[in-house]
Amino acid sequence: MLSDDLKLKIQSTYSLLLERKGLQTRPGQKRMIAEIARTLSTVAMDAEGHRSAAEPGVCVVEAGTGTGKTLAYLVAALPVAQALNKKLIIATATVALQEQVILKDIPDLQRNSDLQFTYALAKGRGRYLCLAKLDNALRANSSSDAMRDLFKVELYDPATVNRALYERMLESLNQGDWQGDRDDWTEVLEDDHWRAVAVEKGQCAFNRCAYFATCCYFRSRDNLDKVDCIVANHDLVLSDLALGGGIILPAPADSIYIFDEAHQLPGKSISHFSHFVKLHSTGKWLEQLMGITSRLAQEIQNKGSLATLLLQAAELAQSVGHSLQRNYVLFEQFTDKAESASSRGDVTQYVFVSGVVDKSVCALVQLLSNEFHDLWAKLGKITELTKQYLEEEHGELDRQQAETWFPLFGSAQMRAEAAASCCRHFARADPSDLTPTARWLTFNANKGELEITLSTSPVLAAESLQEYLWEECFAAVLTSATLTTMGNFKFLQQRCGLPDSTAFHRIASPFSYQEAATLRIPKSGFDPSDNAKHTQAITDLLPKLLQKKSGALVLFSSRRQLLDVLAGLPPLFRLQVLAQDDYSKQEIMRIHRATVDKGQASIIFGLASMAEGIDLPGAYCTHVVIAKIPFPVPNDPVDATHGEWVKAQGRNPFQEISVPEAALRLIQASGRLLRQETDTGTITILDERLLTRSYGRAILDSLPPYLRETF
């Protein structure tokens, strides 16, 4: 229960914040603070301060645009977390929101309240420089160059990149101008250049590394244990949970999680528990592994345990390669049954119905999984032994050799583990009482070679989140402007596997939708079932529709239609368009804002990634045009498998999956228009099915109450 002292602290923090900023109380924000604080403070605890309740305290808050949800959950959760001696972990889905929280919202709260707390930004290890790899990159060494050449599938050869860049990095480190964080490096940095010197899982020797005391990554990690609030992203939190929790971030049992943009949590969770292995490229890698382990065993003068392990690894790599080839030939036979998986037709896929793979196929894949596991175990022994030589004076390797070898075998061990895991998930039978696993093959012909990819994925995040998050964490808050579909939380609850005790709240936006925005829908002439006619209708209409000298956003569900419309536009009108893929997302936004600031028209053509997470207030966006209802892709293996399972239970997958998903996406897309209370404009959805189909009207009714017009 919320104690009187804690209640007073939250109230006084909020009052002082409003007073110092000269703001009026927002009823929605005030309610959000109260509901979050109430949920977090009612979790039963034992004498040691651990959760004793069967379920965590989970509060789901759909807070409409303009509620001020970031400050609401900070004001509510920080005092409670401090009182309960828990870490507050804020996870955002986009970099933009993460930067807003860490650079604006939290400093703003500290300046304008008496709340005392510390905070830090948590990033994955790949954002930090590895001092050992930087040293190797700068050190001329023929042996390491030869090994990198043989391991080119895994590593990038520093000899092919900019040595001068690494020297500048070293100088900046020595002068204290840079702390090894990629995001703080002021120059443009190519991914290949960075990857050659970045910290990577499996290549880190931890405290046995000569640079451990000054390691950029571990220095940042140490800071996380000392602060009250950690700002991360969904991917980092899910990565930590997948590892068992408490590896990258504080332990879930000692943490209160805030998932902002929580509508993205189910999709991101699915991707984190998915697996794939490319058969052709993995076969080539195994050949390289066999060659390098054999060669290195011969180079070791003292034929000790390491040399023996290397020869055993070479034999295993050869054996796994033969098994992989048998599986390749087996799966190659499915190409005749595969269907197109790309607009260009160069990629095809075969999806196993309901995720069920023939038992004889499963038996072969399971054998392959076992062999990959044996290879992983052998590489693990090599890695551990090599790690020992990092600090021994008279081992089979000198320290410099060990520093070169260790990351290579650590990387190889990770690849073997990933392949074993994918094959294991591909071959196992799904429990009858749970949703199935999607399993499919992808075929991609490139330069005369056919790449076959085995893929597996859960169709719902529910089971994974229940196991790794809800059963382990102390409490959590899920919030976003869009969490309900068709007027309720059932879609989110099903996909996230939320506990039965979850508290759900809807807080309306303070915006006056009917006064601020008009939603326009065509009565006829825009039926997406005839793609050619629909595309032509959009092409003809846009120059008439978008004549204002301000900003507009046009959203497409397919790249093909975007390109076709673009190609059909009049040349002068085309000059006003910034199309996704022409520039980076950040560059498009920069050019767009600069153009509008000059009083000129600028139109962004975008796909799904532009339908959320971008902020174009005021004149930067006065018209949002949506080409059609954004239904899920019909040939997506995960959605197809999920739909088959729903249908087998006598339910309607279109109504249960496709319609709610489309409604959620449409709410997000239309939400690009009104970003602040003074914004006004028009939303045009060029899909007559919103008026002519029953599901269309249901989707339409799920949108905010904009003023509606037909034309």
SS (H, E, C) 425-452: HHHCCCCCCCCCEEEEEEEEEECCEEEE
pLDDT computed for residue 301 by the predictor: 62
Residue 152 has pLDDT above 80, yes or no: no
Residues of the chain with CATH 3.40.50.300: 4-118+227-270+462-507, 513-710
pLDDT computed for residue 410 by the predictor: 87
Contact assessment for residue 348 and residue 338, using Cβ atoms and an 8 Å cutoff: yes
Q: Which region among 66-80, 160-174, 236-250 has the lowest average model confidence (pLDDT)?
A: 160-174
pLDDT computed for residue 141 by the predictor: 47
Task: Give SS3 for 463.
Answer: helix
Please state whether beta strands 437-446 and 347-351 pair in parallel, antiparallel, or not at all (unpaired).
antiparallel
Q: What is the average pLDDT across 469-485?
A: 95
pLDDT computed for residue 161 by the predictor: 53
Query: For the domain 4-118+227-270+462-507, what is the CATH code?
Result: 3.40.50.300
Q: What is the average pLDDT across 449-467?
A: 94
Rounded Cα gap, residues 422 and 282, in angstroms: 13
pLDDT computed for residue 85 by the predictor: 94
Q: Which of 427, 419, 200 is nearest to 317 (CA)?
A: 419
Q: Which region among 83-87, 88-92, 204-208, 488-492 has the lowest average model confidence (pLDDT)?
A: 204-208
pLDDT computed for residue 135 by the predictor: 81
Residue 160 has pLDDT above 50, yes or no: no
pLDDT computed for residue 302 by the predictor: 65
**Which residues partner with 488 through β-bridges?**
485
Contact assessment for residue 656 and residue 459, using Cβ atoms and an 8 Å cutoff: no
DSSP 8-state code for residue 337: G
Q: Which region among 96-110, 129-143, 605-619 has the lowest average model confidence (pLDDT)?
A: 129-143
Residue 107 has pLDDT above 90, yes or no: yes
Task: Quote the longest CA-to-CA distance of the chain.
Answer: 84
Q: Which region among 367-381, 607-621, 655-669 has the lowest average model confidence (pLDDT)?
A: 607-621
Please state whether beta strands 577-579 and 339-340 pair in parallel, antiparallel, or not at all (unpaired).
unpaired
Count CB atoms within 10 A of the CB of residue 191: 9
Q: Which DSSP helix (H) or strand (E) runs through 469?
A: none
pLDDT computed for residue 370 by the predictor: 97
Contact assessment for residue 276 and residue 453, using Cβ atoms and an 8 Å cutoff: yes
The torsion of the CA quartet 140, 142, 144, 150, rounded to 10 degrees, works out to: 140
Task: Give SS3 for 679.
Answer: coil
Residue scoring higher pLDDT (59 or 434): 59
Of the chain, the percentage scoring pLDDT greater than 70 comes to: 95
- The CATH number of domain 513-710, selected from 3.20.20.140, 3.90.180.10, 3.40.50.300, 3.40.50.720: 3.40.50.300
pLDDT computed for residue 388 by the predictor: 83
Q: What is the average pLDDT across 13-34?
A: 93
Q: What is the average pLDDT across 374-396?
A: 85
Residue 202 has pLDDT above 80, yes or no: no
In single-letter form, the type of residue at position 145 comes to: D
Residue 680 has pLDDT above 90, yes or no: yes
Contact assessment for residue 489 and residue 660, using Cβ atoms and an 8 Å cutoff: no
pLDDT computed for residue 395 by the predictor: 67
Residue 465 has pLDDT above 90, yes or no: yes
Q: Which of 436, 412, 414 is nearest to 425 (CA)?
A: 436
pLDDT tens, position by position, 330-358: 999 999 998 887 766 678 999 999 999 99
Q: Which region among 58-62, 195-199, 419-423, 568-572 has the lowest average model confidence (pLDDT)?
A: 195-199
pLDDT computed for residue 633 by the predictor: 84
Confidence of residue 445 (pLDDT cuts 50, 70, 90): confident
Residue scoring higher pLDDT (700 or 138): 700
Strands (E), 5-79: 57-63
Residue labelled with tokens 């190889």: 412
Residue labelled with tokens 């709410």: 667
Residue 146 has pLDDT above 50, yes or no: no
Residue 142 has pLDDT above 50, yes or no: no
pLDDT computed for residue 345 by the predictor: 66
Residue 406 has pLDDT above 90, yes or no: no
Rounded Cα gap, residues 596 and 237, in angstroms: 38
Residue 238 has pLDDT above 70, yes or no: yes
Tokens representing residue 72 in the block: 């609401």
Confidence of residue 393 (pLDDT cuts 50, 70, 90): low
Tokens representing residue 690 in the block: 């919103």
Q: What is the average pLDDT across 281-288?
A: 94
Residue 67 has pLDDT above 50, yes or no: yes
pLDDT tens, position by position, 616-674: 999 999 999 999 999 998 889 999 999 999 999 999 999 999 999 999 999 999 999 99
Count CB atoms within 10 A of the CB of residue 367: 15
Residue scoring higher pLDDT (413 or 161): 413
Of the chain, the percentage scoring pLDDT greater than 90 comes to: 66
Residue 255 has pLDDT above 90, yes or no: yes
Mean pLDDT taken over the chain: 89
